[in-house]
Structure 1
Amino acid sequence: MPKATTSDTTGGVRVHPAARGTGPARGSGFWSVGAVLVLLMLSSSVPSALYVLYQQRWDLSSGAITVVFAVYAVTVLVGLLLFGSLSDTLGRRPVLGAALVLAIVSMALFAGAGGLALLLAARAVQGLAVGLATGAMGAALLELGPRSRPMLGAQVGSAGPTVGIGLGGLGAGLLVQYAPAPTALSYLLLIGAFTLALIGVVRMPESAPGAGGGFRVVPHRIHVPAAVRRRFAVLILTIVAVWSVGGFYLSLGPHLALALLESTDYLVGGATVALLAGAATAAQLLLGRTEALRTALLGLGGLLAGLGLVLLALGLGSAGVFLAATAVLGAGWGAAFLGSFRALSMLADPAHRGELTAAVYVFAYLAMSVPAVLAGRLTNIHGLHRTSVGFMAAVAGVCAVALLATWRLARRARAEGSTT
């Protein structure tokens, strides 16, 4: 590994010597990584817009659809925990390159899928690609960000996922409804986009200060310091609520939208995902400078309001109320996640932040996958409408508990003069 004296510091972040300066290579490298982030998240939401079509063509149950979604969430977590720190020693560029190759393979599997088996394989490879890339993308955005705008890397890292999810849902919905080869075209276009992104990554400067240390897999340790476990437990309730909603919308949301709108237009399903993600992005941008716990409280209030509106829409059978509910829910989703994640990241000292972050991701991806699979199974028994009512009511209960606990935590933090 290179000695520390060979690296530079930019905006408080140590970088590789090759990433010094503010020239075109550094700037293009930053935006190449941003494009990879958006593309990976975009590709992850494309299947959500196609689930209804898969279900119809291959006679799949709602339970099978949610299992396909859960496979993605679980393999992202596995990839993140096993390879999340690999880019620290091997380098950002080779890890991102490998992730993009896996992403291209997954798109090819999706494009050629003719049944459940290949769909599951494609989702698994896609999840590993995202898990492998996540740590490298986050670090590279901070290291390659412009010196004149030190917060830009964090802003792109925060907004990129919801922007990608929204664009993926809407774009895939449009292609499925109005273009030929609906189960293949979106993925073929993404193969081209990922290939271009791979060229950009190959040409970007290396920014990891420890690059060149070779291939060394060091699994993320999952650990919550004893001193902060109570606060961690309070804040993790919000993470569970947020990603339970996200998992439901990304797996069964398009089905629910089509049922309420009494539509056969596949664009409706994709637009529902796009509306949720777009509102989340807007809320994150608006509240980016707001104190963490206050942001979480505002988000939880939005989540409760949105869940209440969803329940009202289900009771009335109203498509208009459902769309309004989705927008409110999305805004609460984005704010609650931003606030709770920022508050959680401040609980541990920098030397142990990676261990605590790994614990947060475990809860997030379990919350995204397990409730969605359970909802899919219950849909097979009780139907989509009754299952949705029960699911939203249960998540609303979790949100109410999280809101009360977070309010108490914020009041105690103010009394102690703390921001967490």
Structure 2
Amino acid sequence: MHPAAHTASAPRGSGFWVVGAVLVLLMLSSSVPSALYVLYQQKWGLSSGVITVVFALYAVTVLAGLLLFGSLSDTLGRRPVLGAGLVLAIVSMGLFAGARGLGLLLAARAVQGLAVGLATGAMGAALLELTPRSRPALGAQVNSAGPTIGIGLGGIGAGLLVQYAPAPTVLTYLLLVGAFAVTLVGVVRMRESAPDARGGPDAAGAVTSRGRLRIAPHRIRIPAAARGRFAVLILTIVAVWSVGGFYLSLGPHLALSLLRSTNYLAGGATVALLAGAATVAQLLLGRTEALRTAVIGLLGLLSGLALVLLGLGLGSAPVFLVATAVLGAGWGAAFLGSFRALSALAEPAHRGELTAAVYVFAYLAMSLPAVLAGLFTNIHGLHRTSVGFMAAVAAMCALALFATLRLAARTRSEGSTA
């Protein structure tokens, strides 16, 4: 029986919220190790450079999953790809729980990255396809707000467990195993939404599509007509996730240093503050035009980066925390606006492909600058490295703002002459 037929009676809205929960949970689990990095450093004597390598390995394996399987759900269907991603996520949580040194930590992070990379294209496309008809903008909103909600919950939740719960490096991941198992049941029961998924498992267990064996990964392509707009909008994605990568790898350490605190909750709360402010901004700007939202977000990012530099120059924890909130609001708005504008470029049969392409750039922006920051931290110290990093990202934001303003002006001009 066709998998979509098996779930034909599943309500459209329930499937949407199942996929939204998967997105939040995967992002939550990806940020949990960030709150634990300080603990891992102390227990195993790891340097900041090693920590950023652990973080970057996650991003690299996400990229591998995106590049190999980013468009796979366009032909195999969203449900089987999401299910496989959740199974891998459960395996990675088990590896984290059993880690007693750097080796298993690296293995867990790698499997986790592959799980997220495998599921990302399917999640983004399914949210657009299953969006409730009464709220057509909700799919893009959840696509952009889901990561920030998950990252924020992961940061604060892990911080609480590290500070107050027994065996936090085990308990945290066991709780996530249970949560992933529940969402896996939801994915199995949801309806299929991919427009080109025509086949299901045959008697031999192979997956077919339109009568052919099609299990080979697909190359990610950007439609020729959309490449100019894609290049402009992706600058904002790169700027946003460069900030995210820095905060998720070295942000808790920097916060503890400025706060002169040993409370692990403070490190996790810094990540949560960034992500929480991002989520609030996305909710407030959910109905604002996409390019205008991106411009507002870029202005917020520039303001937040200026305040971060001021806080670092003064050595002031209060200024740094205010700066983090402003930066988070800009991050959320810029990601929402650019993602909505990018999602409008894709044809229905290639939504998974384009979504995967967006996240390829996002995870490159998360990983490469974070690794460089970790290496420079070992040489120049955390404070000087942070100043240099924020200044570089500010220059990128200024370039993205200029390009987006030009794109918005051109779009208005084309609309008025149509």
Structure 1 residues 151 and 395: alpha-carbon distance in aligned structure 2, compared to 1, 3 A threshold:
closer
Written as runs of structure 1 = structure 2, the 5 A alignment for 1:171-186 is 171-186=157-172
Residues 42-191 of structure 1: pairs in structure 2 closer than 5 A: 42-191=28-177
**Shift, 1:76, TM fit:** 1.2
CA separation in 2, counterparts of 1:255 and 1:285?
A: 29
TM-fit CA distance, 1:339: 1.5
C-alpha spacing 1:158/1:400, structure 2 compared with 1 (3 Å): closer
- Paired residue for 2:409, among 408, 411, 415? 411
Instruction: Classify 1:234/1:189 alpha carbon distance in 2 versus 1 (closer, same or farther; 3 Å).
Output: same
- In structure 2, relative to structure 1, the CA distance for the partners of 1:236 and 1:276 (3 Å cut) is same
**Identity between Structure 1 and Structure 2 (%):** 83
Secondary structure, in 3 states, of the residue corresponding to 1:43?
helix
> Do the aligned partners of 2:7 and 2:189 also contact (CA within 8 Å) in 1?
no
Structure 1, unpaired ranges of 5+: 3-14
CA distance in 1, matches of 2:326, 2:119: 31
Aligned to 2:211: none
Unaligned runs of 5+ in 2: 201-206, 209-213
1:123 & 1:253 partners in 2: Cα distance? 18
Matched, 1:269 2:264: no
Q: Deviations over 1:384-408 (max 9, x none)?
A: 0000000001111111122122222
Going from structure 1 to structure 2, the CA distance change for 1:418 and 1:335 (only over 3 Å counts) comes to farther
Match of 1:374 among 365, 372, 375: 372
- Of stretches 93-102 and 278-287 in structure 1, the one that deviates more from structure 2 is 93-102
User: Quick one: distance in 1 between partners of 2:342 and 2:354?
Assistant: 8
Moved over 6 A (4+): none
Q: How many residues align?
A: 405
Deviation at 1:264, TM superposition (A): 0.3
Deviation of residue 75 (structure 1)? 1.1
1:10 equivalent in structure 2: none
Alpha-carbon distance in 2 for matches of 1:80, 1:98: 14
Q: Is the aligned partner of 1:212 residue 2:199?
A: yes
Stretch deviating more after TM superposition (268-277 or 344-353): 344-353
Separation (CA, whole Å) in 1 of partners of 2:275 and 2:295: 19
- Out of 243, 246, 259, the residue aligned to residue 244 of structure 2 is 246
Q: Distance in 2 between matches of 1:149 and 1:358?
A: 24
Q: From 341, 344, 348, give the equivalent of 2:342.
A: 344
The one of 391, 398, 414 equivalent to 1:400 is: 398
Q: TM-score, normalised by structure 2?
A: 0.89
State the alpha-carbon separation in 2 of the partners of residues 130 and 340 from structure 1.
21
User: SS at the partner of 2:169?
Assistant: coil
For the 8 Å contact 2:74–2:353, the answer to whether it is kept is no
In the TM superposition, residue 139 of structure 1 has moved relative to its aligned partner by 3.4
In structure 2, what is the Cα distance between the partners aligned to 1:343 and 1:336? 11
Single out whichever of 345-354 and 88-97 deviates more from structure 2: 345-354
Tell me the equivalent position of 1:310.
308
Task: Indicate if the aligned counterparts of 2:74 and 2:350 stay in contact, CA closer than 8 A.
Answer: no
Residue-by-residue CA offset, 1:309-350 (whole Å, 9 max, x unaligned): 000000111111111101100110111112122223344655
User: 1:145 and 1:348, CA in 2 relative to 1: closer, same or farther beyond 3 A?
Assistant: closer
